[in-house]
Structure 1
Amino acid sequence: MADNTTDPAVRPNLYLTGFMGTGKSSIGRELSRTLKYRFIDSDRWIEKDVGMKIPQIFAEKGEAWFRECEKRFIQEGHPAEGCVVACGGGLVVPEGMIELVESRGVLVALFASVKTVLDRTSRNKNRPLLAVEDPEARIRELMAKRDPIYRKVDLAVSTDGRSFADVRDAVLRIYRAHCSGTPVSKEH
């Protein structure tokens, strides 16, 4: 798909949010190549910044400290434009974070079912919130808390039952429409 954003001089950041396993990083990498933007994964940035892996941060510093790192990342940890940012799954959960991210660029929420998330995350050991006896129950519990927050995001795409290319193209259409001032519907 050719990049024909209306004004090439205006390159607002594109932020992807949503629950873990919804495709933020993989879709984000592809979108950054398509748009010729820099790709940044907020979790990887934080790991590099503090010199610790996410599970170690949670174990030694706690989730609240990690959420402060995420806020600092959004406020000052990356360029103001020309980036596709894959946000950690809990980044927009604290009060005011959706508005903060939206003030920095275009925010799109990705959604997936519990089954899809479980399938996508089952082999990844870098998920401290799923390091429990029953990951599916934990996913259901976290989704019940977070889903209403993600639904506050104006722009959203479901990733269930869709090809990688279809999701990428849907997000790209939303981003370009938003940048050009064209009204965009809530779900795609």
Structure 2
Amino acid sequence: AGLAENGFERRFGLRFDEPLVRYRLLDHPGPVTDITVPVSQFIDPGTGKVFITENKVNGLAFPPVPDAIVIFGLGYGIQSLSSISWLKGKEITYWGDIDTHGFAILSRLRQHFPQARSLLMDQATLQAHLELCTEELDSKRFTGELAGLTPDELPLFAALKDNTYGKNLRLEQERIGYGWLLDAL
């Protein structure tokens, strides 16, 4: 590991600034429902369902769901969840932006948690929200290949790469109507 990813500190058993995981308990009536912990201290909260959203706003606005938590605001930092073995036994649903990076993050998540499903990352959602789309910068687009997408997701990712629906189209998840989320859940 060298000095990357706190290699020196790890090698000599020193404390280091770990990535943080922020999550909300979605069916908890108590006073503490929004929790941030170092990844090594992220223990199983005892729920069967785990939602992961790319953006913080969506995690904060996520509605109550029985037996569930929502992890949010990680973006590509989703890689930090790979060491959390208890997630392997959970029902995981990922909700990201409908853009090249949203699908790249989903594919990366499935490298460690192949059971992960996507939420509102489909052609119907995109087409219903075309007027709310923005443009990805050419320099910021992900144009590689993704092995971790389903047969339903691959054509949409290809269409985004090929500009089928518009130039460098992106639909940020926070632009999708709240009613769409409620219906999808």
Query: Shared fold (TM-score greater than 0.5)?
Result: no
Identify the structure with bigger relative contact order (alpha carbons < 8 Å, sequence gap 6+).
1
Please identify the structure whose Cα radius of gyration is greater. Answer: 2
Query: What's the TM-score bracket when you normalise by the shorter of the two chains?
Result: 0.3 to 0.5
Normalised TM-score (structure 1): 0.35
Structure with more helix by fraction: 1
Normalised TM-score (structure 2): 0.36
